Structure 1
């Protein structure tokens, strides 16, 4: 697919692009997951593979951008996950007041990404138009495709749209200088990734286009999928937009907390700096 945002630019123009710090909030975990739950045609389906849950925020001297909002506590219990911290409270502990945030990117509307929409009363939300079509269209008639969505959270997103507080955009959009979103699909119809300019280069927050590094390393699909061909093709889009494989961050891999340095803000062990280089190679 065309990747227009990555059009060639001069070194001078690149120097003018703002840089951001990237903070990952590890807010929940599920230590009981198995590889059979995570991968299609897995050879060792009963082997344990823990799953962590993240949301993110970007910050520089000019602005703060929140990416996804985490999981509602009641939904965590319903789906068998263990909450570690509250994303809104963790943002506050990091010096970010959710009530003052003006920009929130929604990479998609699965329940573990959209559980705190109401905590950002002044924010404008950005989401792929295809995701809204998906969650309000014919595919939600089928239990397989609706199982990772919660009706009340879809309704909240529709209310934001009708309130003039949500922009449904096309497949690529610059949210701010140095921050752009790109459709990849696969996991759900409107799955997008976020490309961020940092001091170490262009980092791609893959969100659920990659749950684990292993999907990317072995080119295998995750088990929750809308379109497998889009899911695998999305790996190449990620590679094209990131400066290297060490500039790619999945949304659920416990390795993230092992290889990236802990931030000096927020609850101990809950916040990590993704704009800094990983401490050791992933494999």
Structure 2
């Protein structure tokens, strides 16, 4: 009787273990995409999907060593920082509005003057493909005309306005026009992190967590909401949150837009 009881118990454990293993196969999963050397380390893109395979967040994982040995060019730049190489997401990100990312180290800061002067990182999450980003060029005869065409107000997150510079300064090659959050403005000299949005030729084309090196080195655990527009220009899964944190297990910083939610073009 005792042997039979042990055998029955073992069988139950095996059934439970098998069931748990089967359940794991359909749980959320993370996939990795493009990599890029930075400082003394690497960065890489990733996507996390739910148990039905839909993307729930996309982002970057940044090795701790990547913040060591960062290049520090001498002298002040004459214009806006150059755009970084496009970083592809894994194929499992299909369905997300984010097409690809760039991650730019800006050691001297950039305009507006007195606001974003600190050494920082720009992380663009683009909704258009790399070819369309590259086409944002002064070589285009319609460059300034396209910069001046803002999306209909219903398509831009509430509280955002274009930067205060003249249009020829707002139009950043291979990026677009940057919009600032006036509902939560960055006070002069107080920049640690903020969320920028961007447009080009009447289209909402990126969202951009931006943060200082000094603040990132504190290994923050930050999550904020991405203000939502009243309507959407395309049918896709749009992010509703962004976060910047440090993964103690992997020794990696994580920059992500998450809470991806289905939206219908209207």
What's the TM-score, normalizing by structure 1?
A: 0.25
Higher-RCO chain (CA-CA 8 Å, sequence separation at least 6): 1
Report the structure, 1 or 2, having the larger strand content. 2
TM-score, scaled to structure 2: 0.26
Larger radius of gyration: 2
Structure with the bigger percentage of helix: 1
